[in-house]
Structure 1
Amino acid sequence: MLQIDSEACIGCGVCESTCTFGAIKVEGGVAVVGDSCTLCGSCVDVCEVGALSIKREEKATQGNLGDWSGVWVYAECRHGRIAPVALELLGAGRKLAEKRGVALSAVLLGSKLNGMAEELVAYGADKVFVVDDPALASFTDDAYGNALSALAKKHKPEIILAGATAIGRSFIPRVATTLATGLTADCTNLEIRDEDGVLLQTRPAFGGNIMATIVCPHTRPQISTVRPLVMKPLARDAGRKGEIIAANLDSNSLTPRVTVLDSVVEDLDRVNLSEADIVVAGGRGLENEKGFAMIRELADVLGGAVAASRAAVDSGWIPYPHQVGQTGKTVAPKIYIACGISGAIQHLVGMQSADTIIAINRDADAPIFDVATYGIVGDVFEIVPKLIEKFKERKSA
């Protein structure tokens, strides 16, 4: 916390003018700190009389961090199948494990999991911990959280990865709290720091305006969630060998306090962007709903799906299920055509894994061109109709 020595303070106001957050005010001839202080230390550096200081609490350390070893992936299952994000995380986890020189393990929780462990081995796992119990037939926070926490306490992995899905976001924070460690959510990149082997966890911060790299240096395991379609799975190797471990846990810990009475699957007209090979997306540059009618025609000609930036959704031109970005869906199509999208980082995190990105924008300095494979500078209302015409000609030829 920022401490102010009222006897030493001369009320000069230098600290007040230096603070970019407006956290310090001079009142009654003495500096007073407010709630918006970020402990950046700029005021301490400029105080000529030494009236300001920062008292930092010592970070708690979990004893010998070297006791923790290995990379784990929570292998989420849905409707009797392994979720694609689990395979994507095995691909990312493989790189981390090789950099650390440790084993890559998957954790499989549920009921009637026949054949799933072998599939996880085929996608890169060296070991698979399986908790197959009728109590885990339906997902509940407490039962799944207790199971993963108990396994982590016993085997001490240094890293745990999980999907930033509805399930992962629901119970992984419980696991982090139980293990008294840190959690970085919605990561877009994971790397190992060379000098000390710490996991570098990168994610959008401050509303997506910057990319922050977060570390967990004092506690283990280091836990990260990653959104689907951000990472790439390894190629399936049916001949791969691995160890499958049936984990026996206390049945009382698996008994949920919540009883699932029924599960009802919503029957809605879903926008299936995640499986589309071609996505045509529109942004503020489309100006109105008519602009989206134009790119919908382009998507139809190409056999693709229609997406949008948050700006377009907020303007009411297209419903939210089409939104791609930090607060929308993540997509990784073969081709992503961005029409009238400037390329704010909040949008980029949702589509940067596309194989080919084609950007159309009248602003040659738009950030979208920094990530585009091909860029077209010009009026989207002139270019897109010509593309539609040419593609129709090719289809009819």
Structure 2
Amino acid sequence: MTILLIADHDSASISDQTTKALTAARKIGGEIHVLVAGQNAGSAAAAAASLAGVTKVLVAEAQHLANNLAEPLADLIVGLSASYDTLIMAATSVGKNVMPRVAALLDVAQVSEIIEVLAPDTFKRPIYAGNAIQTIQTTDAKRVITVRAAAFESTSTGGSASVANLVASANPELSSFVSDSLSSSDRPELSSAKIIISGGRALGSAEKFSEVIFPVADKLGAAVGASRAAVDAGYAPNDLQIGQTGKVVAPDLYIACGISGAIQHLAGMKDSKVIVAINKDEEAPIFQVADYGLVADLFEALPEFEKSL
């Protein structure tokens, strides 16, 4: 059995989510090849080659692969698929965009966001916003899989895989890259942060959100997240949203401030190792999943917390 892991990268390094998807691939078993597609991606390829368990790194470089456009990347993967039993990628924004296209072009059913590998063809995945776990056994000749990275640990380095250059497939010209508009922050990236502090609708305004959440985040070296309600109300930008329709995270410490604990939000953070909830409503559902709960006014509790750090 040979597995092709599609790397999510920034040309300089491999994403943390990809190293976790590699852990899932190793549990499936077999020889693992990593595809690094992009432009000027030599550093990312070298990083992939150093990961434990990788036997070969395939590098495809072309201008039309530089910006993770779904159509050319899916076309490249399908062109390589004849040599592989399993095609796997982390369920990042790129993975969610590319892998369903791959599955459709191969006419197979995708197995989405697996959280456990039971056998090479059998997996567990959450459904109903994580309230139920589904066990799936696929009978397709080729398996197309995305991995919920929060459920797996990162693979360590120490490998020495060979690196081979590929001739990139032609650009199908179904889409074109226009521009990137990226937010910048000195805080850790949300998906890979070890500590996250999140705010909910109870913050009341964008000004209050930044006034009470950001100082604590800066003291802890934490990433900042938000509930969907806070994002919809305009208190925080969309890229901070945690939940079923946002980012799925599993930090060592998650601090939920003024978040009631709706199912949509819990689906994105309940795998956190330690959950702390601060809410003045003692009946809030968030307390049912919290390891530590504080029934208090967050506008009083957070400034006190920040002063004590």
TM-score higher than 0.5 = yes
- The aligned counterpart of 2:238 is 320
The one of 23, 26, 31 equivalent to 1:94 is: 26
Query: Residue 190 in 1 paired to residue 108 in 2?
Result: no
Query: Residue 143 in 1 paired to residue 60 in 2?
Result: no
The one of 3, 22, 33 equivalent to 1:105 is: 33
Query: Residue 340 in 1 paired to residue 258 in 2?
Result: yes
- The aligned counterpart of 1:76 is 8
* Cα distance between partner residues in 2 of 1:212 and 1:94: 22
Which structure 2 residue ranges, 5 or more long, are not aligned? none
* Cα distance between partner residues in 1 of 2:149 and 2:253: 18
Which of structures 1 and 2 has the bigger CA Rg?
Answer: 1
The offset of 1:74, in angstroms, is 1.1
- The aligned counterpart of 1:53 is none
Query: Residue 163 in 1 paired to residue 163 in 2?
Result: no
Q: Describe the SS at the equivalent of 1:170.
A: helix
Which structure 1 residue ranges, 5 or more long, are not aligned? 1-68, 392-397
RMSD: 3.4
Residue identity matched to 1:327: T
The offset of 1:162, in angstroms, is 1.0
The offset of 1:241, in angstroms, is 4.2
Q: Contact 1:123–1:233 (CA<8 Å) still a contact in 2?
A: no
Q: Contact 1:91–1:124 (CA<8 Å) still a contact in 2?
A: no
1:169-204 superposed Cα distances (whole Å, 9 cap, x missing partner): 33222211122111133x1613215xxx53224134
- Cα distance change, pair 115–200 in 1 and its aligned pair in 2 (3 A): same
Q: What does 1:206-221 align with in structure 2 at a 5 Å threshold?
A: 208=129, 210-213=131-134, 215-221=136-142
- The aligned counterpart of 2:171 is 256
- Cα distance change, pair 204–342 in 1 and its aligned pair in 2 (3 A): farther
1:225-268 superposed Cα distances (whole Å, 9 cap, x missing partner): 2355553212222xx344x363766x7xx111218876644364
The offset of 1:366, in angstroms, is 4.1
1:359-389 superposed Cα distances (whole Å, 9 cap, x missing partner): 2234555443444343334443443343233
- The aligned counterpart of 2:197 is 280
Higher relative contact order by CA 8 Å / sep ≥ 6: 1 or 2? 2
* Cα distance between partner residues in 2 of 1:276 and 1:72: 27
1:37-85 superposed Cα distances (whole Å, 9 cap, x missing partner): xxxxxxxxxxxxxxxxxxxxxxxxxxxxxxxx34432113323432332
* Cα distance between partner residues in 1 of 2:177 and 2:297: 52
* Cα distance between partner residues in 2 of 1:209 and 1:332: 14
**Identity value in percent:** 29
* Cα distance between partner residues in 1 of 2:281 and 2:114: 27
Query: Residue 384 in 1 paired to residue 302 in 2?
Result: yes
User: How high is the TM-score relative to the length of structure 2?
Assistant: 0.80
- Cα distance change, pair 127–328 in 1 and its aligned pair in 2 (3 A): same
- Cα distance change, pair 267–115 in 1 and its aligned pair in 2 (3 A): closer
